[in-house]
């Protein structure tokens, strides 16, 4: 568990899984040899063999008036196209409780986008039915994002309802049940959640992808979602994910973020960044092209 204080806002990371492995699935350009050339990635974000270390985690954002959770990981009991994500039995809810948060206390669930590893704990399996994990929360989903996935699913043949293989089953077990419970608010991509938290459009990975911007007492943080999957993309902005809806747009988003936030005090918290997860964007000291993430907080 990591924890950061941004003014009066406390942000707590609750890990579902953190693993090292091959790179082809998510970032095909990030070969082991290329990763080993980025010396600042080790030991936190890559191992000595050049394998990327990735994390799946949720972030609890506690303001003076709200208790919110950003992106709800993969979830237990779900049937997925990725074998290592299928029928998980992980202690995520117990770890959330250990961090000081019970499911009934969460009042807002924010989804940066509707991919499989960001909405799983929206629901849990009880007596054979998918029910909302956070029964007292409003689930905020981007209108553009939801309408894309809803239409894509509707346009598929009845025998193959997922818009892509990776997201097979997600709408049925992790999105529609919270709609059916009357807990969803469809919001615009610049929606203000409360005084300290608002959405920031960061499209490309999906059509309606957003990041979460936090500001309080002059301090700021940005929860990236998947506009940056791994810190190696900070040095290589053109390394686009194979899961990106529009790789040109996702690269443009990273370029824009670097130009906007490099050498500033804003804390960048990566939704898939392994421990220590957060840092500040810096220009390379040698004056060359590229950036890096300074995690010395």
Which structure tokens are listed for 79? 């049937």
pLDDT confidence of residue 158: 55
How far is CA 181 from each of CA 70, 135, 138, 168, 175, rounded to the nearest angstrom?
20, 9, 10, 22, 10
In SS3 terms, the chain reads as CCEEEECCEEEEEEEEEEEEECCCCCCCCCCHHHHHCCCCCCCCCECCCCCEEEEEEEEEEECCCCEEEECCCCCCCCCCCCHHHCCCCCCHHHHHHHCCCCHHHCCEEECCCCCHHHHHHHEEEECCEEEECCCCCEEEEEHHHHHHHHHHHHHCCCCCCCCCHHHCCHHHHHHHHHHHCCCEEEECCCCEEECCEEEEECCCCCCCCEEEEEEECCEEEEECCCCCCCCHHHHCCCCCCCCCCCHHHHHHHHHHHHHHHCCCCCEEECCCECCCCEEEEEECCCCCCCEEEECCC
Domain count, the chain: 1
**pLDDT tens profile 228-277:** 999 999 999 999 999 999 999 999 999 999 999 999 999 999 999 999 99
pLDDT confidence of residue 262: 96
Question: How far is residue 134's CA from residue 104's CA, in Å, rounded to a whole number?
Answer: 6
pLDDT confidence of residue 161: 47
**pLDDT tens profile 79-134:** 998 889 999 999 999 999 999 999 999 999 999 999 999 999 999 999 999 999 99
pLDDT confidence of residue 239: 96
pLDDT confidence of residue 160: 54
Residue 93 belongs to domain spanning: 3-294
pLDDT confidence of residue 288: 57
**pLDDT tens profile 4-63:** 999 999 999 999 999 997 666 689 999 999 999 999 999 999 999 999 999 999 999 999
Q: Are 18 and 274 in contact (CB under 8 A)?
A: yes
The pair phi, psi for residue 249, each rounded to 5°, is -70, -40
In this predicted structure, the answer to whether residue 71 has a pLDDT above a threshold of 70 is yes
**pLDDT tens profile 133-186:** 999 999 999 999 999 999 887 777 554 545 567 788 999 999 999 999 999 999
- Within 10 Å of residue 210's Cβ, how many Cβ atoms? 29
pLDDT confidence of residue 82: 87
CATH number reported for the structural domain that contains residue 32 in this entry: 3.60.15.10
Question: How far is residue 142's CA from residue 252's CA, in Å, rounded to a whole number?
Answer: 20
């Amino acid at each position: 568990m990591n924890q950061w204080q941004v003014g009066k806002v406390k942000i707590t990371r609750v890990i579902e899984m953190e693993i090292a492995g091959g790179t082809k699935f998510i970032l095909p350009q990030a070969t082991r040899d290329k990763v080993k050339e980025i010396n600042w990635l080790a030991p936190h974000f890559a191992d000595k063999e050049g394998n990327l270390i990735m994390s799946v985690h949720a972030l609890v954002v506690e303001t003076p008036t709200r208790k919110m959770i950003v992106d709800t990981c993969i979830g237990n009991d779900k049937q997925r196209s990725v074998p290592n994500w299928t029928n998980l039995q992980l202690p995520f809810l117990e770890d959330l409780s250990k961090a000081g948060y019970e499911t009934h206390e969460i009042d807002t669930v924010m989804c940066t986008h509707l991919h499989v590893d960001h909405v799983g704990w929206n629901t849990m399996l009880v007596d054979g039915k998918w029910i909302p994990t956070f029964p007292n929360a409003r689930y905020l989903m981007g209108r553009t994002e939801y309408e894309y996935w809803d239409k894509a699913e509707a346009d598929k043949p009845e025998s193959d309802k997922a818009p892509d293989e990776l997201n097979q089953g997600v709408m049925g077990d992790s999105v529609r049940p919270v709609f059916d419970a009357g807990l969803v608010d469809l919001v615009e991509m610049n929606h203000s959640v409360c005084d300290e938290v608002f959405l920031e459009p960061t499209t490309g990975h999906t059509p309606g992808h957003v990041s979460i911007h936090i500001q309080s007492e002059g301090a700021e943080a940005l929860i990236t979602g998947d506009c940056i999957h791994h810190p190696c993309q900070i040095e290589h902005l053109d390394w686009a994910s194979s899961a990106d809806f529009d790789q040109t747009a996702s690269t443009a988003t990273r370029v824009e973020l670097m130009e906007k936030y490099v050498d500033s005090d804003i804390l960048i918290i990566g939704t898939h960044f392994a421990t220590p997860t957060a840092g500040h964007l810096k220009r390379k000291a040698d004056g060359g092209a590229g950036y890096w993430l300074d995690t010395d907080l």
